[in-house]
Every structure is written in C-alpha cells, then in structure tokens.
Amino acid sequence: MSVDDPVVSLENVEVHFEQESGFNPFDDPETVRAVDGVDLEIPENDVVAIVGESGSGKTTIGKAAVGLQKPTGGSVKFRGQDIWEAKRRFSNSSIPYDEIRRSLQIIHQDPGSSLNPHRTVEASLAEPLKKHQADLGPEDREARILAMLDRVGMSPPHDYARRYPHQLSGGEKQRVALVRALLMNPDLILADEAVSALDVSLRVEVMDLMLDLQAQFDTSFLFISHDLSNARYLAEHADGRLGVMYLGELVELGKAEEVLRNPQHPYTKVLKWATPSLGLEEGAAEPPVREIDIPDPIDPPSGCRFHTRCPYATEYCRESTPDRRSVGEGTHRASCFRLDVGSDYWRSDPLEGASLEADER
Ligand SMILES: Nc1ncnc2c1ncn2[C@@H]1O[C@H](COP(=O)(O)OP(=O)(O)OP(=O)(O)O)[C@@H](O)[C@H]1O
C-alpha cells in the first residue's frame, strides 16, 4: 500500500451470474454477463458518475467497486490491497478487511430499506458507530450524530434524532443515509440511484448536499444513475468524470464536460440524444441507432457489443472487439474503432443500414 494508490482500482473486472435457463431445472444454467473487462481507478477526492440503460451493469460494477459483489474475474483493490484477499484474511493483507468495509460506504436508491422501521434515527445511526468506533462513549457518540444531522440540514437535530423512519420524508431518509455513511469517515461513497426515487424538485437539493459534503470531507463518490442529466449535474459540478456503460462494458470515460461536448462512442451520442434536457444542442428527430432494442446480456453481440445498433458499424465491428483508446491529451477514453485512423474498420464493409460517414444523425 502506498499513499499514491487510488482509493479503489478495478482491473479487467468481470462479473458473470449463473441463472437457471427456464422451466426445465435440468438445463444448463445461463450466464448473464453483467460486467466484462472494466478498468476504473478512483483516486482520493474524486467523483465519477456512471450512466447507462437499465441492465447495463451499473449497479453490479458499483457493488464490485465497494467490495459488495465478488468479481468472477479481474481484481478490485482498496489502496493497493486486493479486497477479496483481505476478506479471506490472508496473513499478508496490508489493510484489515474491517477497515476496508468502513472506508467504502453505500447509499441506496430506497433509503428506507436500510433503516430499521422500529428504531429511531439516533439508534440506527449509533449502531455502526458502536461497531467501528468502539472507543467513543455514549455522549460523544450522540454529539457526533447530532452535529452530522445538523450538518445535512436536519434541524433541530434533537427532534430528528428521536423520529422513526415513517416520520421522515423521502429526502430526509436519504439525508439520514448520507449521515450514516459519513459517520464512518469513508474514503468512497457509492450512491446508487440515490436521487432517482426523489421528487424532481428535491433531486438537485440532495445532489447539492452531496457535492457540498464531498468537498468538505474529501470523500470520493461513485454516483450511479440511469439519468444522464443527474449524472452530468453531479460530475460537472464536482469537476469529475463521466463513465458510460453499455451491456456490461465501460465504453467511454472522461471529464464529464469533455465527454458530453465531444462524445466519441456512438452509444454516448445516443444517450445524449435521448436527454434533450441537457440543452447541449438541437438534436436530430430520429435516434442515432439502427436498432432500438437492446440485446440480451445473456448472449451479448460478438465483437463490439454496440454493432447491432450502431449507425457506423462494419463487418469488422462484428468480428473484433475495440480497445479503449485515448481521445486527445487528457483522460478521455472510448472504445471505438473509429478513433484509430489505421484500423481495418475503415476498409471493411458497412453493415446493413450503416454507413462510415459521420453524418451526426
Ligand atoms: N444476482 C444476480 N443474479 C443474476 N443476474 C443478475 C444479478 N444481479 C444482476 N443481474 C443481471 O445483470 C445485469 C446487470 O444488472 P445491473 O443491476 O447491474 O444493471 P443496472 O445497469 O444497474 O440496471 P438497473 O438500472 O435496471 O438497476 C442484468 O441483466 C441483471 O438482470
């Protein structure tokens, strides 16, 4: 472990699930390729927002990043220590697993589900503190809880501390979930669709609170959303990165502002087209795809997984898998043959309905 190690690094991470294939229990199980070949580093004080359609593997990659989902391939490290080796209590583990668990926190889409309906807010918040900061006395514990409730705008904190979950609004429950995560003094918080269930008017408020807390506590955030406008709001305000998932792969990643201004993966262009509220430019009337339907992650397309829908796909895209390539000088990367002027892609025949011409449809 070194101070320069990223908080979390994912290397070639793969998560495949076996599921029963149908009505016949004797059939071989099918493999859902939820995540394939994902590389991602999250340094300290960093914000990454991941977007993608439902089923693209966002939740799975988020859970893998915070050690809640074991990868079936590749590695997930916390400050250089393999999380799953630490969990198996390898004698040479440089960071104890409990320390890793404390450092990687999660806030869910439905904050109510993580609060015990029979316990007051204070009792729910005291529980993890007792476990991870056993040296704190009851008075210090209470003082810390009240100060943090106040910090997230739940004022007067004594009043909120005594309430039960059913006495809180959705936004207040999400604030309690944030407090619970922050009380652990985490290095990374996974916020999985954390604002999706809130009223539109409340979303910006809760995202502003996250941004404020992120800056104050220097906590890194991995924010997951199916909604590009929310992901953009959070990532751009934090000067963070935006990642785009498609059928289990991270197809584009870079500074949010740069990815949206100059998207390179044709799928990122589709997401941008589908989110007119971004107000980035006049969109075309038709979506920039040949096929609307998303293929099944049980049997993803060969080669580039987007080739069945891509308006620029050629035979080569059907056969070969593109590597992630740099776009310009910065950290912006995308997986598309079109970024390589020397690629055989350019000499290959377009698939039916596709064209090599970049006619920004
Ligand atoms: N425990 C599991 N067992 C079997 N399949 C799973 C499991 N968890 C996820 N999957 C499958 O893996 C794929 C990716 O799921 P995941 O929840 O990561 O996607 P997502 O992008 O977060 O979607 P959503 O926004 O709908 O939650 C889906 O096809 C899903 O059905």
**Assembly ipTM:** 0.96
| Domain span holding position 358 | 268-361
Asked if 223 and 49 touch (Cβ cutoff 8 Å), the reply is: yes
Say if residue 56 is in the same domain as residue 12.
yes
Say if residue 224 is in the same domain as residue 361.
no
Strands of the sheet with 30-42, listed across from one edge = 30-42, 8-19, 73-78, 81-82
Q: Which residues pair with 191 in a beta bridge?
A: 107, 223
Ligand 1 centroid to Cα of residue 99, in Å, is 28
Pocket of ligand 1 contains residue 55 by CB under 6 Å: yes
Residue 339 placed within a domain: yes
Q: What is the pLDDT of residue 90?
A: 60
Say if residue 250 is in the same domain as residue 282.
no
Ligand 1 centroid to Cα of residue 66, in Å, is 16
Taking the whole predicted model, whether its pTM rises above 0.90 is answered as yes
Q: What is the pLDDT of residue 361?
A: 43
Residue nearest atom 2 of ligand 1, based on CA coordinates = 17
Ligand 1 centroid to Cα of residue 55, in Å, is 5
Residue 132 placed within a domain: no
Pocket of ligand 1 contains residue 268 by CB under 6 Å: no
Q: Which atom of ligand 1 is nearest to the CA of 57?
A: 18
Residue 31 placed within a domain: yes
- Which of 216, 240, 261 marks a domain boundary? 261
- Which of 224, 243, 261 marks a domain boundary? 261
- Residues 185-244: pLDDT tens digits? 999 999 998 888 888 888 898 899 999 999 888 899 999 999 999 999 999 999 999 999
Say if residue 235 is in the same domain as residue 277.
no
Ligand 1 centroid to Cα of residue 248, in Å, is 9
Q: What's the CA dihedral at 315, 318, 320, 321 to 10 degrees?
A: 140
Between CA 144 and CA 140 the distance in angstroms is 6
Say if residue 206 is in the same domain as residue 89.
yes
Structurally, the chain folds into a number of domains equal to 2
Say if residue 36 is in the same domain as residue 79.
yes
Say if residue 353 is in the same domain as residue 283.
yes
Say if residue 251 is in the same domain as residue 203.
yes
Residue 14 placed within a domain: yes
Q: For ligand 1, pick from 14, 51, 56, 72 the residue to mutate: most ligand atoms within 8 Å of CB.
A: 56
Say if residue 200 is in the same domain as residue 341.
no
Residue 1 placed within a domain: no
Pocket of ligand 1 contains residue 300 by CB under 6 Å: no
Q: For ligand 1, pick from 58, 70, 247, 271 the residue to mutate: most ligand atoms within 8 Å of CB.
A: 58
Say if residue 196 is in the same domain as residue 106.
yes
- Which of 261, 284, 311 marks a domain boundary? 261
CATH of the domain at 58: 3.40.50.300
**3-class SS string, the chain:** CCCCCCCEEEEEEEEEEEECCCCCCCCCCEEEEEEEEEEEEECCCCEEEEECCCCCCHHHHHHHHCCCCCCCEEEEEECCEEHHHHHCCCCCCCCCHHHHHHHEEEECCCHHHHCCCCCCHHHHHHHHHHHHCCCCCHHHHHHHHHHHHHHCCCCCHHHHHCCCHHHCCHHHHHHHHHHHHHHCCCCEEEEECCCCCCCHHHHHHHHHHHHHHHHHHCCEEEEEECCHHHHHHHHHHCCCEEEEEECCEEEEEEEHHHHHHCCCCHHHHHHHHCCHHHCCCCCCCCCCCCCCCCCCCCCCCCCCCCCCCCCCCEHHHHHCCCCCEECCCCCCEECCHHHCCCCHHHHCCECCCCCCCCCCC
Residue 252 placed within a domain: yes
Residue 350 placed within a domain: yes
Ligand 1 centroid to Cα of residue 57, in Å, is 6
Spell out, as residue ranges, where the chain has pLDDT lower than 70: 1-3, 21-26, 90-92, 279-284, 358-361
Residue 219 placed within a domain: yes
Ligand 1 centroid to Cα of residue 357, in Å, is 35
Phi, psi (degrees; rounded to nearest 5) at 15? -130, 110
Say if residue 106 is in the same domain as residue 194.
yes
Tokens 């340094």 sit on residue: 43
Between CA 208 and CA 171 the distance in angstroms is 13
Asked if 264 and 51 touch (Cβ cutoff 8 Å), the reply is: no
Ligand 1 centroid to Cα of residue 214, in Å, is 28
Residue nearest atom 17 of ligand 1, based on CA coordinates = 59
Say if residue 328 is in the same domain as residue 275.
yes
Q: What is the CA radius of gyration of the chain?
A: 22
Q: Which atom of ligand 1 is nearest to the CA of 297?
A: 29
Q: What is the pLDDT of residue 199?
A: 84
